[in-house]
Structure 1
C-alpha cells in the first residue's frame, strides 16, 4: 500500500500544476454539461415511506376526497368581511377570485367549500399540482395566488387571505431564509477563524477550505447527472452534503497540513515534505473516507425513502472528496511551499516539544487501566440515559409569523369556522354502498369517535360546518339537491331549503366522495396540533378509535391521514431502519479497519468505542432536552445524523490515531509510541472536532429561534456535544489507554504483534482483569 502512495505522491508533486488545471477543467465541464443536483431532487413523498405504511394506505383510501396527496398540495383561501354578512357584491368578488385562482399556474381545481355559520366568511379550497415537500413550487403558487387578491376587486370590508399548513409553511420558510443565510455566513466565518487560530497561517486555512469547495462543486453536478439517469436523490441531500464534505474535507486538510508542517520542521524541503506527508497519511485518509462511504452505502438497505435516497449521492460526494484530498490538496501545498505557513515559521527545529497532549499521554500510559475504567463507567452511565429516548416529529411551525398573510387567514379560520381545523387529522372510512342509502351508519361512527375522548372537535358529513343534520334530512337533501359539488355558492331561488341547511349540505362535498362510498371526519386532537409530538404519539390510539368506529358502522376499510399520522410512520420507519442498518455498518467498518490496521484485535475495541460514544451522545441529548429541558421527545432524524457523523466520521480519528501509533511502534516501545502518537495527533483530532462541533453549535444558536427552533437546537447541540465528547475523551484518552493495556497484542496476528518488548507484553486476559479490578475500585495506584 505504501508503494502506491509513494508513486501517487511523486506524481502529484511533480505534476502539481497539471493536477490543479485538471480539477479546474473538471469543475468547469461539470457545471456546463451536467444538471444541478437540486433540479433532480426527489420530492415525491410516496417514495419516503413504504407503500404498506398505514398513513400511505390511508392517503390512498382518501384519494377520492383529498386527491393524490403525494403529488399535490391543498391551499386554503378565505374571504371574510369585517363583521357584516356577505352581500351579492361580495359573492361576485369571490366568484372573480375563484376564476383568477383557477388561472394560476399549477392550480388544478378551485372549489368554494364552506360558508361560515355567521355568514361572514367563505372557505375556498385550492388544489395545486405541487408535491407537499416541494417548498419552492409551493412558494411560487402561494405568491401567485396572493397577487390575484387585488385584481379580484374586493368590496369595501371584504378581504382575501391564505390559510392552512401550506400557507403557514411558506410564510415560515420566507421568515427563516434570513436565519439560514445567517447560519451559512456564521458557519463559514467560524471555520475560517478557527482554521486561522489553528494554523496561524492564512494561506493554509484557505487551501484547506478550497479543496472541499472544489469537491462540492463537482459533486453537485455528478450527483445531478446520476439523478437525470434515474438515481433518486433525497431532499435533505443538499444540506448534509455540505456539512459532510466540509467536515471530512477539513479533517483531511488538517491530517495532511499538520504532517507537512511536521516534515518541514524535521528538515525536509517543501516538495519532499508534501511527498512524505501524503505517503504517511494517504492510507489514513483513504481508510477514513472508506468507512464513511461504507456507512453511507448501508443506507441503501433502508425502507424509509429519505434515508435510502441519501446513500448513493452522499457516497459519491465522499468519493470525490477523497480524490480531492489525495490530489488537489497536496498539489496546492506543493505549489505554495513554505508560504502556506506564513507568517509562522515552519523551519527545522532540533527537537519538537510534545505539547499538552504529549504530556497528557505521558501520564495516561502510567495508569491506563484507571483512565480506561473511569472512562468506561462514565460513558456507560451516559449511554444508559439513551434508554429514555423517544421520537418526536419534525413538523413545521404551528403558527405563521406575526403580521403575515397566513397568520391573518388562520385567525379568520379559527374565528369564523370554529368547528374546522386548519390542519386536521383526516379519519377515513369506506363503505360497501353509498352512504346516503343508510346515513345512520355515520351516527354510529361519530358516537364511537366522540366516546373515545381523543378529539377536541369533530366535523363530518352530518355536521360539516356547525349546522347539524339528521340522517333522514341528509338523505332527503341528497334526493332533492343531488351532488353537492355541483351546487352554486348562493342558494338558487325557488328552493324551499333553509339557507343554513343548504350551506351545510353543500359543504358535505368535503366529507363524502362523489360515489358516496368514502367519507371522512376532520378532527382536531385533544393531544395538540398535528405538528406536535403529542399528536404524533396519540396516533396508535386514534387509529384504534377509528377501527372501532369502522366496526360499529359497518365500514369495510379505514385509515388515519394527516401530518401526525405520517410523522408517526416516518419516525417508526426511521427507528426501524437504524436498528437494522447500524449493525451492518458496524460490521462493514470493522472489516475495513481490520484490513487497514492488519489486526483482528484493534477493530473490536475501536468499533465498541465508536458505538459507546454514539450511545453516550444520544444519552446526553436525552438528558439535556427531555429530562431537563422538558421536550416531549427528540426529532427522529437526530439519531440518524449522529450515526452519520459519530459512527462514520468518528472512525476518521480512530484511523489517524491508530496508524500513527503503529508507525511510532516500529521505532519505540508501545507505550512510548502511544505518547509520541497522541502528542502528534492530539492537536489534529481536537482541532477537527472543535471545527465540526462549532459548526453545529452555530446551527443551534442561530437556527434555534426560527420555525421548529427547539428541534433545531436539539440537533445542533446534540451533534456538537457528541463530537466534542468523541474527540476530547474517546479518541485521545480511552482508545490510547486500551492500546497501552493490550500492548503488542493490538496488532495480532500481524508481524508487529509477534515481536514485543517485555514492558509491552500484556496479555488480553490480564488487561481485562486489570480493567475489571479498576472498575471495582481496586485499581493500580491504590
Structure 2
C-alpha cells in the first residue's frame, strides 16, 4: 500500500511553497498593493530577482557592458521570465543591476521557483563575461530558493534517522527493538508525504516547512509511541507473561494513552484551520495527517512485530532482569512527595526566571538574502556595497491615476517631490531619477512622444537617434516606474525607521501607508498602496498575531477535553494544561534570550510563538498523559503518594528516553534545516520538550498531584477513595 501510494500520488516537494507572502489573503493591504503593481509584472513581492554584475578591480569596461547586455537578453529568453529591466550603473561605475520579474507559474511551488532560479544562474555562462566580471542573482526570489535549501529535507531525514537509531540502541540495549520501533515510523513518513500532497491538490496551500516538520514530528512522536509500547511489553514479560499475552496487556494499558496523546497532537494541529494566516491552515492538517498515520502504525504494526519476535526483540538483555524498581526517578519522586510545597515553589521560580526573557519580546522581519554562503547572500552584499539605496526589497509605493501621466507631466514632479519630503522615507527613487541620469516631468513626457513605450526600447539607442545617451538610459529605466498605459506610478522607498527587512521597518508600515494616503489625496490619485517585503512582513505579523489570539483558546479547550476524557477528571486537566503553558512561556523567554538578546537577531521568527505553543501544549501533554494514566492505574492499589512514586519510578526511564529522542529530532531540524525558521523552531521546541521531560514531569506535576490528593480524580469514583488523600506528615515513603 505504501509503495502504491508513493508511486501513484504526487510528492510533497512538488506542491510545497516557500514564499510566506503567498499565504496572505486577497484582502490584505500588501496583496492589494501588489495587484496595483500588476502592470509591472510584480504581482507577488517574492516574484522578483536582481542580476548584479560587478568588477572589483575598477570601473566596468565596454566589454563588460556588452556582456551584461548579452546576459539580460539570455535571461529574457527564459520562458518563466516576464521582464528584465536594466537599472543602470552604480555611482562608482563598478557594478550594474537588472530587475527580473517572473510569471506566477514560477511561484507555484518550490520546484518551479528552483527551476527558474537555476535557469537564470545558468544564463550567466551565456554572457561570455570577460575575466574579472562576476554575476550574482539575489533578491526575494533567489533568497527564498536559497533559504529553502532543497537538500534540507533529505539532510534532516538522514541525520534524524541516524540520531534516533543510535539513541534507540543505547536505550534498548537490544538488537531488534530499535528496528521494530523505527519500521512503523519510516513507513508513516513515506506514506504521509503523498497523502498531504494529494490534499494540496484540493486547494490547501502547503508550506515548504511542512516537509521539514513532518519528518521530525513523525520520527520523534513515532519513536515515543514505540518506546511506550515496547517498554510496557518488556515490563509484562519481566512479570512472567508470555509474549503475545504481554503485547495484549501492553496495548490494553498503554494503547489508550498513546491514542489520546496522538489525538491531542492531531486535534491541536487541526485547530490551526481556524487561523487567519494561510500558512498555518496548510501546515496544521498536513502534520495532523502524519500523526494519524503514525498512530495507526503504532497500534497495528508495532504490536504485530513485538508479538512475532517476542523475547527475541529485546535480546541480548533479559526482560526479567530489567523490571523497574524505584530507581533514580523513584527516589526523585520520594523527595517531591516529602516536600511538595517547596518543590512547587522552586519549579515556579525556575520557570519564572526563564519567562523573564520575554521582556522586550518582538518578532523580526523577513530576511532579504539566503544563507550566508549562498549566491543570493553574496549578491546582496555586492548590491549593498555598490547600490546603498538599492531597489531590491525596498518598499514599493504605488499610485493609480484616472488618466495617463503623460497628459499632465507636472503630476510626476509633484508626486515625487512630496514623497521625497515625507519623514517616513529616507530616500525615494522614481521615474524622474532612474538609471544614471535624471529627468524632468516634461522631458519624460517628451521622450515618450519621441521614443514610444520605455519597456520596448533596446539597451542602446537605435542607430541615428539624436537622444542624449544618459537621458535615453534614464527614460528606458523608467519602465519599472511607469506602467505601459501611463496610469500607474511605482516608487521605491527606503524607510527611515530601519533597514529594509528589519522589524523596525515592518512595524513602521502603517506610518508609510498613512503618508502615502496623504500624498495620494494631494495629487489626485484614485488608488494607492504599499507593497514589498516590509509591507508583506507587516501583514504576515498581523495575521500571525490574530491567529495566535484565535487558536490558543481553541487548543486549550481541546486539550482540556481530551485530558478530562482520558483521566476521567475535571481537576487534573487544568493543572496539567497550566504547567505546560508555563513551560511554553519559559521556552519562549529562553528563545528570546538565545536568539535576540544574546544572538543579535532582529526578533523571533513570526511563526515561532504559535507553532511553539501548539507543539508545547500537544507534545508536552503526551508525557503527562502517560504519567497520569500510570499514576491512576497504580492508585487503584495504593495511596496516591505511593502510586505516584511507583508510576514515576517505572515510567521515568521511558519518558526520559522518549523526551531526549523527541528533543533530539527537533534539534536536528535546528542544526541542518538550512533556514532561520528551522533553526529557531527546532531548538526552541527541543528546549521545551526537555523542560517538560525533566522539570514539568518531575517537579511541577507530582507536587501538585500530591497536594491535591484524591481530588485529582474528581468527580470519578477514585476521588472518593481515602487512600488518595494528601499525606498528613512527611514520613519516608517507599514503593511496594
TM-score normalised per structure 2: 0.90
Deviates more, 1:223-232 or 1:148-157: 148-157
Task: Give the aligned partner of residue 55 of structure 1.
Answer: 30
Deviates more, 1:691-700 or 1:329-338: 691-700
Q: Within 2, Cα distance between the matches of 1:669 and 1:239?
A: 45
Counterpart check, 1:303 vs 2:276: yes
Q: Does structure 1 retain, via aligned residues, the 8 Å contact 2:15–2:108?
A: no
Do the aligned partners of residues 128 and 376 (structure 1) sit closer, same or farther apart at CA in structure 2, a change above 3 Å counting?
A: same
Task: Give the aligned partner of residue 780 of structure 1.
Answer: none
Q: Within 2, Cα distance between the matches of 1:159 and 1:246?
A: 44
Deviates more, 1:502-511 or 1:490-499: 490-499
Do the aligned partners of residues 319 and 477 (structure 1) sit closer, same or farther apart at CA in structure 2, a change above 3 Å counting?
A: same
SS at match of 2:319: coil
Which residue of the other structure, out of 108, 112, 127, is the alignment partner of 2:82?
Answer: 108
What does 1:434-473 correspond to in 2, within 5 Å? Answer: 434-473=404-443
Counterpart check, 1:488 vs 2:468: no
Counterpart check, 1:716 vs 2:682: yes
Q: Does structure 2 retain, via aligned residues, the 8 Å contact 1:465–1:507?
A: yes
Counterpart check, 1:730 vs 2:703: no
Q: Within 2, Cα distance between the matches of 1:362 and 1:407?
A: 55
Q: Within 1, Cα distance between the matches of 2:32 and 2:657?
A: 49
Which residue of the other structure, out of 329, 335, 342, is the alignment partner of 1:370?
Answer: 342
Counterpart check, 1:691 vs 2:661: yes
Do the aligned partners of residues 577 and 324 (structure 1) sit closer, same or farther apart at CA in structure 2, a change above 3 Å counting?
A: same
> 1:712 deviation in Å?
4.8
Write out per-residue CA displacement over residues 118-177 of structure 1, whole angstroms, 9 at most, x where no aligned residue.
87866444433344474432332233233344445557887655443434554566xx56
Q: Within 1, Cα distance between the matches of 2:295 and 2:44?
A: 40
Task: Give the aligned partner of residue 745 of structure 1.
Answer: 711
Do the aligned partners of residues 154 and 675 (structure 1) sit closer, same or farther apart at CA in structure 2, a change above 3 Å counting?
A: closer
Do the aligned partners of residues 156 and 751 (structure 1) sit closer, same or farther apart at CA in structure 2, a change above 3 Å counting?
A: closer
Counterpart check, 1:204 vs 2:177: yes
Q: Does structure 2 retain, via aligned residues, the 8 Å contact 1:109–1:128?
A: yes
Counterpart check, 1:68 vs 2:35: no
Counterpart check, 1:497 vs 2:467: yes
Q: Within 1, Cα distance between the matches of 2:121 and 2:592?
A: 43
Q: Within 2, Cα distance between the matches of 1:668 and 1:658?
A: 15
What does 1:228-377 correspond to in 2, within 5 Å? Answer: 228-347=201-320, 352-377=324-349
What does 1:358-437 correspond to in 2, within 5 Å? Answer: 358-386=330-358, 388-397=360-369, 401=373, 404=375, 413=383, 420-437=390-407
Do the aligned partners of residues 392 and 412 (structure 1) sit closer, same or farther apart at CA in structure 2, a change above 3 Å counting?
A: closer
SS at match of 2:555: helix
Q: Within 1, Cα distance between the matches of 2:250 and 2:550?
A: 39
SS at match of 1:519: strand
Task: Give the aligned partner of residue 38 of structure 1.
Answer: 13
Do the aligned partners of residues 717 and 158 (structure 1) sit closer, same or farther apart at CA in structure 2, a change above 3 Å counting?
A: closer
Task: Give the aligned partner of residue 618 of structure 1.
Answer: 588
Q: Does structure 2 retain, via aligned residues, the 8 Å contact 1:464–1:508?
A: yes
Do the aligned partners of residues 355 and 408 (structure 1) sit closer, same or farther apart at CA in structure 2, a change above 3 Å counting?
A: closer
Q: Within 1, Cα distance between the matches of 2:60 and 2:3?
A: 63
Q: Does structure 2 retain, via aligned residues, the 8 Å contact 1:444–1:552?
A: no
SS at match of 2:467: coil
Question: Gapped runs of 5+ residues in structure 2?
Answer: 731-736
Q: Within 1, Cα distance between the matches of 2:440 and 2:200?
A: 54
> 1:393 deviation in Å?
2.8
Q: Within 2, Cα distance between the matches of 1:99 and 1:631?
A: 39
Question: Gapped runs of 5+ residues in structure 1?
Answer: 1-25, 771-782
Q: Does structure 1 retain, via aligned residues, the 8 Å contact 2:509–2:535?
A: yes
Q: Does structure 2 retain, via aligned residues, the 8 Å contact 1:93–1:155?
A: yes
SS at match of 1:392: coil
Do the aligned partners of residues 439 and 188 (structure 1) sit closer, same or farther apart at CA in structure 2, a change above 3 Å counting?
A: same
SS at match of 1:695: helix
What does 1:82-161 correspond to in 2, within 5 Å? Answer: 87=62, 97-112=71-86, 114=88, 123-129=97-103, 130-132=105-107, 134-153=109-128, 161=136
Q: Within 2, Cα distance between the matches of 1:556 and 1:56?
A: 17
SS at match of 1:521: strand
Q: Does structure 2 retain, via aligned residues, the 8 Å contact 1:85–1:118?
A: no
SS at match of 2:82: strand
Do the aligned partners of residues 126 and 621 (structure 1) sit closer, same or farther apart at CA in structure 2, a change above 3 Å counting?
A: closer
Do the aligned partners of residues 237 and 179 (structure 1) sit closer, same or farther apart at CA in structure 2, a change above 3 Å counting?
A: closer
Do the aligned partners of residues 250 and 419 (structure 1) sit closer, same or farther apart at CA in structure 2, a change above 3 Å counting?
A: closer
Task: Give the aligned partner of residue 556 of structure 1.
Answer: 526
> 1:473 deviation in Å?
2.5
Q: Does structure 2 retain, via aligned residues, the 8 Å contact 1:172–1:400?
A: no
> 1:32 deviation in Å?
3.0
> 1:42 deviation in Å?
5.4
> 1:395 deviation in Å?
2.5
Aligned CA-pair RMSD: 3.2
Do the aligned partners of residues 342 and 417 (structure 1) sit closer, same or farther apart at CA in structure 2, a change above 3 Å counting?
A: same
> 1:262 deviation in Å?
1.0
Write out per-residue CA displacement over residues 91-141 of structure 1, whole angstroms, 9 at most, x where no aligned residue.
776665455434434233444454667878664444333444744323322
Do the aligned partners of residues 713 and 125 (structure 1) sit closer, same or farther apart at CA in structure 2, a change above 3 Å counting?
A: closer
SS at match of 1:523: strand
Q: Does structure 1 retain, via aligned residues, the 8 Å contact 2:212–2:669?
A: no
Q: Within 2, Cα distance between the matches of 1:521 and 1:362?
A: 69
Q: Within 2, Cα distance between the matches of 1:326 and 1:265?
A: 22
